[in-house]
Amino acid sequence: MPNRVTNVGYGDRTPFLSSTAAAQLRAEIDAQLDQQVLEWYANVPEAAHLEGKNVDSAYYRRNLIETAWRIRMLRVSEAKALVEIAKTSPEAAQVWANYEQEEMLHDELFIADLEKAGVSREQFLATEPYLSTKLLTGYFSYLLDHEGPLGVVAYSYLVEYVNVQLEPRKLEALKKSVGEANIGGQINHSHTDINDDHPGEVWAAVRHLLRSQDDIEAFKRYLREHQQILAQYFEELYLDTIAGAEKQPA
């Protein structure tokens, strides 16, 4: 009688891509993300706002609030993703678990910077997340229910790659506009991403999850879809803060 136990990662776990092919694909993916960054700056309102000299205080505070909420809400789906990943690839699950262990409590880093910006923990908790953040959380749930964990992992690769590329420049600007003593949480978050090589860590999980050419094409689509949802958030943030203030009567 055959063993009825399945979904425990005991199948063929040989990576679909060789080390050389995986490195070539990663270079291709990174080039796609570089192009997406250019499109981001060209099309998203105030995309480079935090890199400027005159930072709108409402925009800055609300972005910190939303970042903390996204970490809090998405870590639930990302923890659920670990279960699905473990069913097919224990190797990817080990990498993902370590990555989540490092990221799980980073909402507190942004909350600490919020307090320095005059927003108490109670005010943070009383602020409901934007619809765009709820939709991103819902998309994660959809992916896990109907497409699998690859799309959830793709989101982390996108944000980690982009953060390592852009965050140092943004932080240097914020040191001048907000003050280095006031952005310690954001600096610590960035140092973790860079020093622990979070893009490389997430990519290691991705490689184990790619099992076919269809998976590769899906991964590329996930990166574009996540950027569209993130753009909705920054449009919502802009309309709620900078654009809203401009419409106020003098």
DSSP letter, residue 120 = -
Out of 2-16, 105-119, 188-202, 211-225, pick the least confident. Answer: 2-16
Distances (CA, A) of 199 to 99, 140, 164: 10, 19, 8
pLDDT digits (tens, 9 = 90+) for 208-221: 999 999 999 999 99
Residue 138 lies in a domain: yes
What's the confidence (pLDDT) of residue 247? 62
The answer to whether the predicted template modeling score (pTM) of the entire model surpasses 0.85 is yes
Residue 115 lies in a domain: yes
Higher pLDDT, 157 or 8: 157
d(CA 147, CA 206): 15
Structure tokens at 249: 């009567």
Residue 140 lies in a domain: yes
CATH of the domain at 189: 1.20.910.10
Strands (E) in 112-244, as ranges, are none
Residue 42 lies in a domain: no
Residue 2 lies in a domain: no
Q: What is the mean pLDDT of the chain?
A: 93
Residue 219 lies in a domain: yes
Residue 102 is inside which H or E element, if any? helix 90-103
Higher pLDDT, 243 or 247: 243
pLDDT digits (tens, 9 = 90+) for 142-156: 999 999 999 999 999
Residue 136 lies in a domain: yes
Has residue 249 got a pLDDT over 60?
Answer: no
Phi-psi region of 46 (alpha: psi -120 to 50; beta: other; left: phi over 0): left
What's the confidence (pLDDT) of residue 183? 92
Domain count, the chain: 1
Has residue 222 got a pLDDT over 60?
Answer: yes
Could you tell me if 226 and 29 are in contact, meaning their C-beta atoms sit under 8 angstroms apart? no
Q: Which domain holds residue 169?
A: 55-240
Has residue 97 got a pLDDT over 80?
Answer: yes
Instruction: Report CA torsion sign: 196, 30, 136, 139.
Output: negative
pLDDT digits (tens, 9 = 90+) for 51-62: 999 999 999 999
